[in-house]
Structure 1
Amino acid sequence: MIKKKKDIIKSLATHKNDVGSTEIQIGLLTDKIAKLSEHFKKFKKDKHSTVGLTKSVNKRKKLLAYLKRKNTESYQNVIKQLNLRK
């Protein structure tokens, strides 16, 4: 699941020069969440990073809700591509 940023941007870009659309932000946050989850498997007592994980999860949740409201087709595509269970 964990990919390089360039691969995430290429797979979710809406046009050639797209680097900051909602879809890409969701993809990058998903990658960050996956990396932090792996980190917590090794370092269970790292409480400071849990704040960053919580913020990332909440931001992704808000972005997904926004995308669902504005463009449901793109929302479905992102959910399928990132294997999110929604």
Structure 2
Amino acid sequence: MKLTNQPRQQKQALFKTFGHAHCEKDSGSPESQIALFTYRIKHLTEHLRLKGKDYAAKLGLLKLVGKRRRLLAYLKKEDLQRYRNVITSLGLRK
């Protein structure tokens, strides 16, 4: 999965990779939402490494982690195979 510098193109690439039937506009599926949250979490983590006292960004990061955790719990409860596919493709767990 190659991401470009434009945020819109990055989102479309994520949705195309992780959405149902690899559709570019599938932004509502749990897999695509988890992928988007993961991308944003990585971005905020890098930002906080440079600017550790940015408390607003830290709060946003904690909220995103919570949202992703709840979506992962939902996906695990609904369809275990889809959950495992998302976990392995994003590299969230070992």
**TM-score, with length taken from structure 2:** 0.84
1:9-28 aligned within 5 A: 9-15=15-21, 16=23, 17-28=25-36
Bigger RCO of structures 1 and 2 (CA < 8 A, at least 6 apart): 1
Q: Which runs of 5+ in 2 are unaligned?
A: 4-9
Spell out structure 1 runs of 4+ moving beyond 3 A. none
Q: Counterpart amino acid of 2:72?
A: L
2:78 to 46, 49, 70: 70
1-10 vs 25-34, which moves further: 1-10
Preserved contact between residue 9 and residue 19 of structure 1 (Cα < 8 Å): yes
User: 1-side partners of 2:37 and 2:27: how far apart?
Assistant: 14
28-37 vs 18-27, which moves further: 18-27
What percent of counterpart residues are identical?
A: 43
Preserved contact between residue 79 and residue 85 of structure 1 (Cα < 8 Å): yes
Tell me whether 1:6 sits opposite 2:16 in the alignment: no
52-61 vs 14-23, which moves further: 14-23
Q: Which runs of 5+ in 1 are unaligned?
A: none
Tell me whether 1:42 sits opposite 2:50 in the alignment: yes
Q: Give the number of equivalent residue pairs.
A: 86
User: 2-side partners of 1:7 and 1:50: how far apart?
Assistant: 26
**TM-score, with length taken from structure 1:** 0.91
